Amino acid sequence: MSISKEVKRITTHTLQEMKDHGEPIAMLTAYDFSMARIIDEAGIDVILVGDSASNVMAGHETTLPITLDQMIYHASSVVRAAKKSLVVVDLPFGTYQGDSKKALNSAIRIMKESGAHAVKLEGGVQIIDSVKRILKAGIPVMGHLGLIPQSIYKFGTYTVRAKEEMESKQLKEDALALEKAGVFAIVVEKIPAKLAAEVSKSLRIPTIGIGGGNQTDGQVLVTHDMIGITKDFHPRFLRRYLELYNEMKGAFERYITDVKSRDFPSNKEQY
Ligand code: KIV
């Protein structure tokens, strides 16, 4: 008798069930096959192909330069590795703002060319037409409020958002508008924990926090930050599970020493 090894894929409905049952959702970023395979096998619920690839993979200062073609390349690599996780892909800057038809075309390209399961857009009421148009085509959408890095030049800094009454009120309205439009979850980035808790409680759909305290319905971190590959980045919300920058640098240094001293390869490491 053969036992089926088929794994059940996490869907947007699974995430809703998790919120309904009070089970926290775990999300991490990935941009390539090898990392996505480890994360998926570890049992993560959602893999985000974030436009943070612009910083982490390409070394840009902001997320603005990454293109739709580059996001599709990263997303395709991740999709090939993800057997169980839900794969969500960021629509990059300039591919959805202010033009809902363009937004739909961008989302369709991501879904068709990468095989991903959902897209994420930054913003609230100001992008609601794009959100609605994408949803109408049957493409699941994740929202993103609070610190929205694609608007960095409008904010001027990466500091905590919505500390003031007016911005906090706007964020609550944005969250409700996104839920009403039909998004399946909302990322809330770098906002006061009290506000994140209030928004999470007021919504039927799950919130996924990064720098939003522990009362959101899930958490997300940039993988390269949490395993310590990125350097000199120590925001308060970040828990580092490894310090790989130094570990890897040490390994590369040992390899260089071994090559230079002809210690590598040894007799056992040749044909
Ligand atoms: O691009 C990204 O990695 C993100 C997360 C920080 C939520 O949007």
Q: How far apart are CA 105 and CA 72, in angstroms?
A: 13
pLDDT digits (tens, 9 = 90+) for 176-210: 999 999 999 999 999 999 999 999 999 999 999 99
The yes-or-no verdict on residue 2 having pLDDT over 50 is no
Query: Quick check: CB of 230 below 6 Å from ligand 1?
Result: no
The yes-or-no verdict on residue 5 having pLDDT over 90 is no
**158-166 mean pLDDT:** 96
The yes-or-no verdict on residue 4 having pLDDT over 90 is no
**106-129 mean pLDDT:** 98
**104-122 mean pLDDT:** 98
Q: Do 63 and 54 contact (CB within 8 A), yes or no?
A: yes
Q: What residue's CA is closest to ligand 1, atom 1? A: 50
54 C-alpha to center of ligand 1: Å?
11
Instruction: State the pLDDT confidence band at 24, using cuts at 50, 70 and 90.
Output: very high
Query: Quick check: CB of 150 below 6 Å from ligand 1?
Result: no
Query: Quick check: CB of 179 below 6 Å from ligand 1?
Result: no
Query: Quick check: CB of 124 below 6 Å from ligand 1?
Result: no
Share of the chain above pLDDT 70, in %: 98
Ligand 1 pocket test target in 25, 32, 62, 63 with most atoms within 8 Å of CB: 63
138 C-alpha to center of ligand 1: Å?
23
pLDDT digits (tens, 9 = 90+) for 47-96: 999 999 999 999 999 999 999 999 999 999 999 999 999 999 999 999 99
- Domain 12-240 sits in CATH at 3.20.20.60
209 C-alpha to center of ligand 1: Å?
10
Which atom of ligand 1 lies nearest, measured to the CA of 189? 7
189 in active site: yes
Share of the chain above pLDDT 90, in %: 97
Pairwise pLDDT comparison (231 vs 29), residue with the higher score: 29
Q: What residue's CA is closest to ligand 1, atom 5? A: 50
Q: How far apart are CA 271 and CA 264, in angstroms?
A: 13
Query: Quick check: CB of 122 below 6 Å from ligand 1?
Result: no
Instruction: State the pLDDT confidence band at 6, using cuts at 50, 70 and 90.
Output: confident
Q: What residue's CA is closest to ligand 1, atom 2? A: 50
Q: How far apart are CA 243 and CA 189, in angstroms?
A: 24
Q: What is the pLDDT, as a whole number, of residue 21?
A: 98
* Cut 0.75: pTM above it: yes
Mean pLDDT of the chain: 97
Query: Quick check: CB of 187 below 6 Å from ligand 1?
Result: yes
**32-36 mean pLDDT:** 98
The yes-or-no verdict on residue 31 having pLDDT over 50 is yes
φ, ψ of residue 234 in degrees (nearest 5): -135, 55
Q: What is the pLDDT, as a whole number, of residue 3?
A: 54
Catalytic residue among 17, 122, 173, 189: 189
The yes-or-no verdict on residue 171 having pLDDT over 70 is yes
pLDDT digits (tens, 9 = 90+) for 203-246: 999 999 999 999 999 999 999 999 999 998 999 999 999 999 99
149 C-alpha to center of ligand 1: Å?
8
Ligand 1 pocket test target in 27, 66, 220 with most atoms within 8 Å of CB: 220
Where are the chain's structural domains?
12-240, 243-271
Which positions ≥6 away from 91 have C-beta within 8 Å? 68, 71, 103, 106, 107, 110, 119, 120, 121
57 C-alpha to center of ligand 1: Å?
13
